[in-house]
Amino acid sequence: MEKKINNAVLSLKIGDITEEKVDAIVNAANPTLMGGGGVDGAIHSKGGPQILEECKKIRQTLYPEGLPFGEAVITTAGKLPAKYVIHTVGPICSGKWDNEKEKLLYNAYYNSLKLAKEKGLKTVAFPFISAGAYGCPKDKASQTAIKAVIDFLKKENSLEEVRFVLFSENDYKIFEENLKNIK
């Protein structure tokens, strides 16, 4: 499914984000930037050690105490078909949801897109941030993801495509339903 927002396309697909040939894929990382499970684990294992090396440099320079929730940084993508990996950290929900978690998740998407724009990138693919190990309620997390991306695309004209790459048919359906309800 896709929707035109300004000059850009917002699209949904089911797939493995490590296989996307876009300018940047976004990683649902944790504040250490040292890798982990889920999509983070897949990106580091398929992308190779280059990505971790660059993350270590970011920790030594920009963020010695770790990447704050809702912020984003960028590295190259090692052996992956994408050109860059944008690392962001969504909130830890553990099944709960409130305004603070919503704001942090919104920021994770929005700041990732801001960084893509600063780098002159045109195509960005997102996973379903905070919907796995971090346990955010999927319906709320999907609505927030869509809102952040649409707000960005309405305001900025730099991107050509933002793609949500969902890892299951169920997650795809959640996004499809929420996107349909947007005028």
Binding positions for ligand AR6, rule: CB under 6 A: 16-18, 28-30, 36-40, 42, 90, 127-134, 165, 167, 171
CA atoms within 13 A on the CB side of 72: 30
Annotated catalytic residue 171: no
Number of neighbouring beta carbons within 10 Å of residue 4: 9
Alpha carbon 144 to chain centroid, angstroms: 12
Specify the residue, 23 or 40, whose C-beta has the smaller distance to ligand AR6: 40
Residue of 16, 23, 40, 139 with catalytic role? 40
Q: From the CA atom positions of the chain, what is the Rg in Å?
A: 15
Q: How far is the CB of 171 from ligand AR6 (least distance, A)?
A: 6
Specify the residue, 7 or 65, whose C-beta has the smaller distance to ligand AR6: 65
Q: What are residue 25's DSSP bridge partners?
A: 85, 125
Specify the residue, 7 or 41, whose C-beta has the smaller distance to ligand AR6: 41
Specify the residue, 162 or 165, whose C-beta has the smaller distance to ligand AR6: 165
Q: How far is the CB of 16 from ligand AR6 (least distance, A)?
A: 4
Q: How far is the CB of 130 from ligand AR6 (least distance, A)?
A: 4
> In the structure encoding, which two tokens stand for residue 120, read together?
């002159």
Q: How far is the CB of 93 from ligand AR6 (least distance, A)?
A: 9
Active site residues: 40
